[in-house]
Amino acid sequence: MSIFLLKRFFTFIVTLLGASLLTFLSLEILPGDPARVILGIDAPQSAVDALRLQLGLDRPMVDRYFDWLAHLLTGRFGVSYTYNVPVMDLIKHRIGITFPLAILSMLLSVLVALILGIYAASRHNKIGDVSVMGLSQLGISIPNFWLALLLILFFAVNLGWFSSGGFVGWDKGFIKSIQSLILPAISLATVQGAILARFTRSAVLETMREDYVRTARAKGLTRRGTLWKHVLRNAMIPVITIMGLQFANLLAGTIIVEEVFAIPGLGRLILQAISNRDITVVRDVVILLAALVVFINFVVDVLYAVIDPRLKPQDV
């Protein structure tokens, strides 16, 4: 097991390095001088040059990249140009909103997708299957920002069950906080859940054609018994892969959905930072999100080994 973990950890580091390089370079290519954005278009060139010097923007690119890496490694994140506070402080407040939001929508999407996917597979080519497939096609087709607006209109404005936006804060209690996250979570989860439901269905159907499923039936297990005892765990192996990939999509989706629901999370932070050319914030948040995604994929790899004995490392 230790060699397995070590290998995965190495991949984790290499991926993060790649992500950091990509983030850094793409922000370098981004047009617009941060110093100019901070000071405004009317500021004299001398002031802009002075600020560039102060921010270290005059130094060679390579130097700045390694500086940034060194800071990341020692845990010293930068200071935001626009907020003038350490990026860490900005993140600390917001991650407590975005992360629960992502987890909540992941849970919703997985729960609904597994139930619908398995149901559809067990009713293959029957009305239940066709309905689920139609529903999921609809779910895939609706853009999340549009769905978000519809949800606000229906559940917040007309029915008044949930607030139309904003986040009450965790200090107002768990239930209230979840209530203000539930609509954004649904609008995020719908597309992911619809895709995952289709995927679950086809994975289950594929597994049902396996020889060992026929063996299970020949033992006298009912269709349902076979599904629960032999099909599902096998079918989960590809489904978990997709779940891991979808988590990255979910995080990206928060950028839009947090904007629509005016939720002060990481997604909104990054969006505002990009328009303000607040490069320190953008790259630190992006690398944090990248680390999160890579970590989730690491968890997925470990899950594989837990589910599938064929992948279990021999040196336990």
Partner 1 sequence: MLDIKNLNINLNTVYGDATAVRNLSFKLEKGKTLGIVGESGCGKSLTALAVMGLLPENSWSTGEIIFNNKNLLSLNEDKLCKIRGNSIGMIFQEPMTSLNPLHTIGKQIAEPMILHGKVTRSMIKKEVLNLLDMVGIPDPLKRISSFPHELSGGQRQRVMIAMALSCKPEILIADEPTTALDVTIQKQILDLIKDLIDEFGMSMILISHDLGVIANNVQEIIVMYGGVCVEKGYTKKLINNISHPYSQGLFSAIPTLEMQEDSEQRLKTIPGSVPEITEIPKGCTFQGRCEYVSDICVKNSPNSVKISEDHEAYCFNLDKLN
Q: Which amino acid appears at position 70 of this protein?
A: A
Of 20, 23, 177, 234, the one binding partner 1 by CB under 8 A: 234
Select 172 or 229, whichever has its Cβ closest to partner 1: 229
Residue 217 CB, shortest distance to partner 1, in Å, is: 6
Asked if 94 and 264 count as a contact pair (C-beta separation under 8 A), the reply is: yes
CA–CA separation, 312 and 212 (whole Å): 21
Residue 126 interacts with partner 1 (CB under 8 A)? no
Which among 48-56, 70-78, 204-212, 280-288 is the span making contact with partner 1, rule CB under 8 A? 204-212
Select 118 or 186, whichever has its Cβ closest to partner 1: 118
Residue 220 interacts with partner 1 (CB under 8 A)? yes
Residue 308 interacts with partner 1 (CB under 8 A)? yes
Residue 31 interacts with partner 1 (CB under 8 A)? no
Residue 219 interacts with partner 1 (CB under 8 A)? yes
Beta bridge partners of 79: 86
Of 210, 248, 271, 302, the one binding partner 1 by CB under 8 A: 210
The 3-state secondary structure of 139-161 reads: HHHCCHHHHHHHHHHHHHHHCCC
Residue 204 CB, shortest distance to partner 1, in Å, is: 15
Which among 33-41, 128-136, 223-231, 249-257 is the span making contact with partner 1, rule CB under 8 A? 223-231
Residue 226 CB, shortest distance to partner 1, in Å, is: 10
Residue 216 interacts with partner 1 (CB under 8 A)? yes
Of 198, 230, 268, 277, the one binding partner 1 by CB under 8 A: 230
Select 183 or 213, whichever has its Cβ closest to partner 1: 213
Residues within the interface to partner 1 (CB under 8 A): 210-212, 214-223, 225, 229-230, 233-234, 307-310
